[in-house]
Amino acid sequence: MSLAFTIAELTSLTGAKSVEGACLAPITGIAALAEATPGDLSFLGNAKYAEAVAASKAGAILVPVTFEGEPAAGQAFLRVDNPSYALALLCSVLESRLWPRPAPGIHASAIVAASAKVDPAAHVGPLCVIAEGAMVSAGTVLEARCHVGAHASVGSDCWLKPGVTVGDYCILGARCRIQSGAVIGSDGFGYEPVNGEIQRIPQIGNVVLEDDVEVGANSTLDRARFSKTVVGRGTKIDNLVQVAHNVRIGRQCLITAQVGIAGSTTLGDHCVLGGQSGVAGHLTLGDRVKLGAQTGLFEDVPADGFMNGTPAVPFGLERRLVVLSRRLPELFKKVDSLAASLDSAKSQTT
């Protein structure tokens, strides 16, 4: 960050009820209590870290109104109702200052097809390509080196970071946020054997991101074989995630990093997929299904299911199996000892 705040500004931005002490230098960063330096603002977000306040070198600390303690020399306490909420308020303000919305207009170096429609209230950054028939709506920001393919459409108030590729015919709803290197609309991986050679099946569908979808850096979403691959409203996809052709992800899902979802699988709403988990093709997951990290799922899961392990089983069973499998050395010994004991019992009785 390259911003500097006085205590007075911070007081105003966080809605602090009162200030104690004073810090000498402007505040130029935010850090955890243990790591903060005199130029940092810190915060007591959880009562269990209360002791860390006294040891903190932060120039300013957001503390609850009821916090018992006093600032060190050269340190300011900003007393607020809820330090976490106050911090979030501040971060939102900081974000809007660190990333001011670029002015509308098309950079001179961008290549925009004559048949493309770019709303005058959109921003198209340097070296972007807007192909024929494509549409970019009002309030949308395309940072540098973005690609909007032929007949693709980017809705209003989206923000595409540098180097995003939106494939031909793909559709983004309003307020989508796409990180660098993400590819929306690569070809689906569809092949069939023909006389011992692998032949490509045309992939002529598209990808549709509904409103408020976010996609992480270098994630890949394949276009449908025909029809569409869909990501439902409000769903957030992390980095390096693979969404195969014809997948349908519901609304308000969280798909964490490096997850893979194979072709034609359907997810309900509010699903949460842990990092590096994988879902096989042609499955149906109900609403609110959860998968633990690295899970490999090969079967349908009804609503509210929580699966774990590879191949996945219900979470409780998986936890039990893990515990028991770690007791295998003990079990093998016990069985050996039972066998010996039985042998000796037999020899005694004969």
- Classify strands 220-222 and 183-186 as parallel, antiparallel or unpaired: parallel
295: how many CB neighbours lie within 10 A of its CB?
A: 25
Does 238 contact its own copies by CB under 8 A?
Answer: yes
Catalytically annotated residue among 123, 147, 245, 270: 245
Site for its own copies, residues 170 to 209, rule: CB under 8 A: 177, 179-181, 183, 186-187, 189, 191, 196-198, 200-206
- Phi and psi based region of residue 80 (left: phi greater than 0; alpha: psi -120 to 50; beta: remaining): beta
Does 161 contact its own copies by CB under 8 A?
Answer: yes
Question: Any catalytic annotation for residue 245?
Answer: yes
C-alpha angle with apex 221: 220 to 223, nearest 5 degrees?
Answer: 135
Site for its own copies, residues 326 to 345, rule: CB under 8 A: 326-329, 331-332, 334-335, 338-339, 341-342, 345
Region from 72-80, 114-122, 276-284, 299-307 binding its own copies, contact rule CB under 8 A: 276-284
Q: How far apart are CB 242 and its own copies at their closest, in Å?
A: 4
Does 45 contact its own copies by CB under 8 A?
Answer: no
Applying CB under 8 A, the site for its own copies has a residue count of 114
Nearer to its own copies, 73 or 323 (CB): 323
Q: Any idea what DSSP says for residue 28?
A: -
Report d(CA 290, CA 102) in Å as an integer.
Answer: 38
Nearer to its own copies, 54 or 317 (CB): 317
Report d(CA 241, CA 281) in Å as an integer.
Answer: 15
Does 288 contact its own copies by CB under 8 A?
Answer: no
Cis check: omega of the bond before 64, within 30 degrees of 0: no
Nearer to its own copies, 137 or 203 (CB): 203
Nearer to its own copies, 18 or 300 (CB): 300
Nearer to its own copies, 24 or 335 (CB): 335
Rg of the chain in Å (alpha carbons): 28
Report d(CA 271, CA 44) in Å as an integer.
Answer: 31
Residue 114 structure tokens? 């004559």
Region from 74-82, 116-124, 250-258, 299-307 binding its own copies, contact rule CB under 8 A: 250-258
Q: How far apart are CB 77 and its own copies at their closest, in Å?
A: 19
Report d(CA 160, CA 213) in Å as an integer.
Answer: 12
Q: How far apart are CB 37 and its own copies at their closest, in Å?
A: 11
Nearer to its own copies, 22 or 339 (CB): 339
Tokens 């276009």 belong to residue: 223
- Classify strands 147-148 and 129-130 as parallel, antiparallel or unpaired: parallel
* Residue in 256, 271, 273, 290 binding its own copies, rule: CB under 8 A: 256
Region from 16-24, 47-55, 251-259, 299-307 binding its own copies, contact rule CB under 8 A: 251-259
294 φ/ψ angles, rounded to the nearest 5 degrees: 65, 10
* Residue in 71, 149, 286, 305 binding its own copies, rule: CB under 8 A: 149
Separation of CA 264 from chain center: 22
Cβ pair 145, 126 in contact under 8 A? yes
3-state secondary structure (DSSP) of residue 201: coil
* Residue in 28, 82, 218, 284 binding its own copies, rule: CB under 8 A: 218
Region from 10-18, 52-60, 74-82, 213-221 binding its own copies, contact rule CB under 8 A: 213-221
- Active site amino acids: 245
